[in-house]
Chain A
Amino acid sequence: MSEAIYTAANITKAFGGLIAVDDVSFDIPEGSIVSIIGPNGAGKTTFFNILTGLYKPTSGRLEFMGKNVTRERPDEITAAGVARTFQNIRLFGTMTATENVMVGEHSRMRTGLIGSILRIPRVRREEDDVRERAHEMLEYVGLERDLHDLISIQLSYGDQRRIEVARALASNPKLLLLDEPTAGMNPNESERFKEFMQKVRKDRNLTILLIEHDMKVVMGVSERITVLDHGQKVAEGDPQEVRENPRVIEAYLGKQAA
């Protein structure tokens, strides 16, 4: 397996007395598709939020592409090359689809306050480029051109999911974190999304980390799966190993079933 692009070492996150993530160590090999699964309340999203800098870990160390990012802010981590989507779609509701994606490019742009006011040719060019790239990105995720300039909240649920992925891709990430991307999709759409993940990884040289409840998606697409339960890592391995691991079955179905 290739080298780790993101390493989380002994991550613990406590909210007061509640330990949401308990001493979890975790590697994401570069170029892979890796999944985190676990029952509700297992600490998956908390762990995601730690990886993207929204939460600071109580203890532990994060390393992205060889650089210590444990104390970095979310925008710094995004600029370094980590992008994400959210479990409950969090688009900027009153912006158009295009503008949403343009915000995703924020960290790639250089224009400052004065530049924005004066709008010198360089700024104008950058703005045009970013807009053009946003359109391309939206087409790439499958949003038709005539929908690009509509307010994002007017679009269908599936389209909103697409915009979220486009917005995440706009920052040109090395690592893409998807939080339950197929939630609310029918089996057909899930299947297509699986193919899309494979394609985007290949096209853009991406590494993908996935939180997912749909086992068909997880088993079909992941090279490695990590199972969390009550904030602890209970199993790790390829889909086959995880499927047969008694602790995983216990976590999902209870002790007797195991």
Chain B
Amino acid sequence: MSTISNAVTPIRTTFDENKWMRVGFYALLLVLVVVFPFFFPETDSKVDVATTALAYVVMALGLNIVVGFAGLLDLGYVAFYALGALTAGWLGSSFVYGANNSKGIHFGVSGNLDKVAGIHMNYLVIFICAAIVCAIAGMLIGLPTLRLRGDYIAIVTLAFGEIVYRFALNGDEIKFGNQQLTNGSQGITPVDPVNFGIGDPFNQLNLRPWYWTILGMVLLVLFVNFRLRDSRQGRAWIAIREDEVAAASMGVPLVKTKLMAYATGAAFGGMAGAFLASYTNTVNADQFQFAFSIFILAMIILGGLGSIWGVVLGAILLQLVNRYLIPDVLNDKAQQWFNFDLTQLSFSIFGFILVLVMLIRPEGLLPEKRRKMELREGVGTGETEASGLIEVQA
């Protein structure tokens, strides 16, 4: 056995042990992110970038549960962005024009929204519905993958993402009476601005409330992530990631545990999707392409699979690359010197970043301690070894 190691390092550091140091650090961080928009004008593009970045943080944290915790490679996460956004489109716009004889259905909305046709729900309702729709969809996508391992899961989820995209794209041909399912690539627009029944609905002239809403969602999702990681559920996920056979033999029900991961991860994707639909004011099928799944996946790989803070960092960094580095910084030079539009190549740049990460720091920027050990000290989770063993030994 080559696993004997003298380097016994405890998993906890001073930072973990010292409670006040920890509390102080997180309190300061929280204050900084809350007051962040006050440093800029109400419609400043930095607040805009931060808001979308936080929406991606929510999605990345959701995907991290499936891929990072439970080890189920999901290449179709865009499906939940799509379904969440569509839920917002259905329940928060004039798209379902015929509802209630064109008088509209309204629930807990503010401003003038209760006078327009269509279905207009309070955004709390929409977020919850989006989460539920996606959780169910997550379980449906999970079902066919339950008997599969590794790469095969990736293929099935990839196909599922593509199916949802095609439905969104061609949904304008699917009609229930006069009602279309989606509005295809024309998009459902306008989508209701986020509103909670008190005060005016949000608008594009003041980005701060949007920012705080998505920040609240990030905090909620962070809380759920931390709680789940250090619980019976989280241990079960890590156990099946490490060794499915051993986990099952220790009493972890594989089907239930995996479906739970899919459902939870998907629910977050749906909430963020509903928010983005409202924020971008459209539910357009072209947003739901495969590349988006890779974009989110790249965030969690860049930050560190399974590492909650790593995923947050990865999502923010990649959004900065996407919105600043490529269009503003690099593209100026590209156009000046080579006369071409670098934004067309943004995905090759993400790809390049991923290759660099894999070569230089495969565990990600802020790795989870376990994962780092796995990659640096050769602690094998060994999918192939694990599945092979059971067949070979007799």
Interface residues of A (CB under 8 A from B): 15, 20, 40-46, 49, 52-54, 73-76, 78-79, 83-84, 86-88, 90-96, 99, 102-104, 106-109, 111-113, 116-119, 123, 127, 130, 147, 149-151, 153-157, 160, 167-168, 171, 184
B329-380 at interface with A (beta carbon < 8 Å) = 370-371, 373-374, 377, 379-380
Q: Say if the beta carbon of B252 comes within 8 Å of chain A.
A: yes
Given contacts A93-B242, A96-B11, A117-B227, contact A79 B393 (CB under 8 A): no
Contact assessment for B233 and A153 in the assembled complex, using a CB-CB cutoff below 8 Å? no
List B contacts of A153 (CB < 8 A).
3, 5, 373, 377, 379
Q: Which of A53, A86, A123 has the largest number of chain B CB atoms within 10 A?
A: A86
List B contacts of A92 (CB < 8 A).
238-239, 242-243, 246-247
List A contacts of B260 (CB < 8 A).
113
Complexed CA–CA distance, A108 and B250 (Å)? 11
List B contacts of A15 (CB < 8 A).
391
Contact assessment for B231 and A127 in the assembled complex, using a CB-CB cutoff below 8 Å? yes
List A contacts of B223 (CB < 8 A).
117
Interface residues of B (CB under 8 A from A): 1, 3-5, 7-12, 223-224, 227-228, 231-236, 238-239, 242-243, 245-254, 260, 264, 370-371, 373-374, 377, 379-381, 386, 389-391, 393-394
Contact assessment for A106 and B250 in the assembled complex, using a CB-CB cutoff below 8 Å? yes
Q: Could you tell me the distance in whole angstroms from the C-beta of B263 to the nearest C-beta in chain A?
A: 8
List B contacts of A156 (CB < 8 A).
4
A107: nearest residue on chain B (CB-CB)? B251
Complexed CA–CA distance, A136 and B260 (Å)? 30
Given contacts A102-B235, A113-B233, A150-B10, contact A90 B228 (CB under 8 A): no
List B contacts of A45 (CB < 8 A).
393-394
- Residue in A43, A90, A154, A167 whose CB lies within 8 Å of B9: A154
Complexed CA–CA distance, A139 and B4 (Å)? 21
Given contacts A94-B371, A106-B236, A151-B373, contact A52 B9 (CB under 8 A): no
List B contacts of A171 (CB < 8 A).
250-251
Contact assessment for B389 and A93 in the assembled complex, using a CB-CB cutoff below 8 Å? no
Q: Could you tell me the distance in whole angstroms from the C-beta of A236 to the nearest C-beta in chain B?
A: 19
- Residue in A74, A116, A150 whose CB lies within 8 Å of B248: A74
Given contacts A86-B246, A151-B370, contact A109 B8 (CB under 8 A): no
Contact assessment for B251 and A150 in the assembled complex, using a CB-CB cutoff below 8 Å? no
List 28 interface pairs A-B (beta carbons < 8 Å), by A numbering: A15-B391, A40-B394, A45-B393, A49-B390, A54-B245, A75-B248, A75-B250, A78-B248, A86-B249, A90-B245, A92-B238, A92-B239, A93-B379, A94-B379, A96-B11, A102-B235, A103-B236, A106-B239, A107-B251, A112-B233, A116-B234, A117-B224, A123-B231, A151-B11, A153-B5, A154-B5, A154-B7, A184-B1
List A contacts of B380 (CB < 8 A).
93
List the 8 closest A-B pairs by CB distance, nearest first.
Answer: A107-B251, A116-B231, A94-B370, A78-B251, A74-B248, A90-B246, A92-B242, A75-B253
Q: Could you tell me the distance in whole angstroms from the C-beta of B176 to the nearest C-beta in chain A?
A: 34
Contact assessment for B4 and A157 in the assembled complex, using a CB-CB cutoff below 8 Å? yes
Complexed CA–CA distance, A171 and B249 (Å)? 10
Contact assessment for A87 and B235 in the assembled complex, using a CB-CB cutoff below 8 Å? no
Contact assessment for A104 and B224 in the assembled complex, using a CB-CB cutoff below 8 Å? no
A20: nearest residue on chain B (CB-CB)? B394
Q: Could you tell me the distance in whole angstroms from the C-beta of A98 to the nearest C-beta in chain B?
A: 10
List A contacts of B10 (CB < 8 A).
149-150
B12: nearest residue on chain A (CB-CB)? A149
A228: nearest residue on chain B (CB-CB)? B394
Q: Could you tell me the distance in whole angstroms from the C-beta of B242 to the nearest C-beta in chain A?
A: 4
